[in-house]
Structure 1
Amino acid sequence: MSEVRRVASGSSVRYVAHLPFTASDMSSALIFTRTLVRSLAFLDELDGGEATVSAYVDERGDQQRVFCDLLLDNGRRCERRPGHEGSCQPRGGLRR
């Protein structure tokens, strides 16, 4: 496996990685994805707030958001679930 090379921020292009996995139901898939995103939050290149889950790789039109992702005053994003009750709060390391 080749080493990871950093790209200068001025020349970065946005991409989406589609990573199929198995889960028993959508709730389990959302939990898995939240855990995965939070475990990779140290990567500046990752925009975890935009994470979505669909039932199958070919059903990208029916995606469910994983996080609320509302931009907060401090420049962070809300890391609570979509449609949550109460105020938005950053609970980890989601960046804009």
Structure 2
Amino acid sequence: MTTPEERWVIHVPVVASDLNRARIFARTATRALALLTSRIDAGEVTVSAEDAQGVRHRVFCDRRLAGGGRCTLPTDHTSPCTRSGLSRHRQR
């Protein structure tokens, strides 16, 4: 039995040919899942090499924004941070 405070994390291995493609797929999957549930914590989405799963690369910027919320742009974006692009990105 789980307590209401306990969280479980789903790990779904998906093969991609390189880090950039893995990040793109992870962003796409996260945005699609965010349409179905508000329980997606996009700021914690990471990808890793199959043989180095302890070395994780963030997918979303997740910087705090003035006025609340988090940046939903990719980690390597060059434009100003914004919340646009992910409808239900979890606020902290």
Range class of TM-score, shorter chain? 0.7 to 0.9
Match of 1:11 in 2: 4
Where is the strand percentage greater, Structure 1 or Structure 2? Answer: 2
Question: Retained in 1: the 8 A contact 2:39–2:90?
Answer: no
Deviations 1:36-73 (A, max 9, x none): 000111312221221000011x6332100000011223
Write the mapping of 1:1-96 to structure 2, written as runs, cut at 5 A. 11-42=4-35, 43-56=37-50, 59-91=52-84, 92-93=86-87, 94-96=89-91
Deviation at 1:84, TM superposition (A): 2.4
Query: Which structure has more RCO (C-alpha within 8 Å, separation ≥ 6)?
Result: 2
* Percent of aligned pairs with the same amino acid: 42
**CA RMSD, Structure 1 to Structure 2 (Å):** 2.1
Structure 2 unaligned spans of 5+: none
Tell me how far 1:29 sits from its aligned partner. Answer: 0.8
The TM-score normalised by the length of structure 2 is: 0.79
- Aligned residues, how many? 87
**Does structure 1 conserve the Cα–Cα contact (< 8 Å) formed by 2:65 and 2:71?**
yes
Question: For 1:44 and 1:31, how far apart are their aligned partners in 2?
Answer: 21
Structure 1 stretches of 5 or more lacking a match?
1-9
